[in-house]
A = this chain, B = another copy of it.
């Protein structure tokens, strides 16, 4: 939690509440989810602060922005390389840890400098089935 201080991030009470909510969280919350949660402790919380903080974390490499859910961004505090399984019905996202050794065939790279990859599995979760 305190590790961000040294990156120049100002640790306000609101930010600590956001960090606290995100720490170890595997629910892949949306900005709205973060807002609703932190609003309980800080009724004056605004989306500006939520987005500001999420972006501050992301730019420091402390948060991943997932584009797996159409319509809204989802955030993942686990920045280790891993993959995701999403429910097509309720949009629940669960982590998948595995090493798939996927790589773009050389002749298909089109000059791209490939930086990383992410496997997205989709299906229907237990509750929706």
Contacts and interface: CB of A to CB of B under 8 A. Distances in A.
Contact of A115 (B111, B114, B122, B126): B122
Contacts of A122: 114-118
A65 to B, nearest CB: 7
Contact of A100 (B65, B102, B123): B102
Given A108-B97, A120-B118, A67 B68 contact: yes
A15 interface: no
Given A111-B125, A122-B118, A124-B112, A96 B104 contact: yes
B88 A110 contact: no
A77 B70 CA distance: 18
